[in-house]
Amino acid sequence: MKRPWRWLIPLAAVPVLALLAYGFRVSPRDIPSPLVGRPAPAFALATLEGAPLSLASHRGKVVVLNFWASWCYPACYEEAPVLERNWRGYRDRGVVVVGVDIQDKREAAQKFVGDLGLTFPIAQDLKGTVSVDYGVYGVPETFFLDRQGRIRVKHVGAVTDDVFRATVDRLLAEAGSP
């Protein structure tokens, strides 16, 4: 018996293979944030030492807002020296690095800061409200804010020197320098 359409049967696998080929190329961690381009949510938290730390106090600067936790190994341990190095290099040029410690214990966070010799301001988000305001779903995540206080870039995973410099240089080069 002749079945002229038989060769079409293997073709049914093509859409499935195409879907898989697409799916395996896309990282499940690259989730577009609806916050990019929007004003950064304001917050007023306390540092690990209990001093007040608000986003508003850094208005007019390029802000690198880094969400981290002491249990986030190894990514947070890799990027902390990068953040510290660039904070020292850029702090006189209107750039501030602000760390937000989330889902963490104060002692563990203080040990992390001491061990890695971090000197940039670090706040603790004890209730998780700031994490939710920024749509944070893991650590580390870093938001680059322009001088007008808008979120311009969201970086998921450890920040490297290249990412830090390229992004901050671009934001510094924009109009609106003080």
Partner 1 sequence: MSRGAFELFAALVLLGAALSPAAAQTAKPASEEVVHEVATQLRCVVCQNLSVADSPSEMASQMRAIIRERLAAGESPADVQRFFVDRYGEWILLSPPRRGFNLLVWLLPLGAVAVGLAATVALVWRWTRRRRGVRPPPVAVDAAMSERIRRELESGS
Q: Does residue 47 belong to the site contacting partner 1 (CB under 8 A)?
A: no
Cα 62 to Cα 1: distance, rounded to the nearest angstrom: 75
Shortest distance in whole angstroms from residue 23 CB to partner 1: 13
Question: Which residue, 96 or 139, is less far from partner 1 as judged by CB?
Answer: 139
Q: Does residue 131 belong to the site contacting partner 1 (CB under 8 A)?
A: yes
Question: Which residue, 44 or 166, is less far from partner 1 as judged by CB?
Answer: 44
| First CA to last CA distance, the chain | 83
Q: How far is CA 174 from each of CA 53, 61, 62, 115, rounded to the nearest angstrom?
A: 26, 12, 10, 36
Indicate which single residue of 31, 42, 44, 166 sits in contact with partner 1 (rule: CB under 8 A). 31
Beta strands 44-47 and 122-125: pairing type?
Answer: antiparallel
Binding site for partner 1 (CB under 8 A): 28, 31-35, 103, 127-129, 131-138
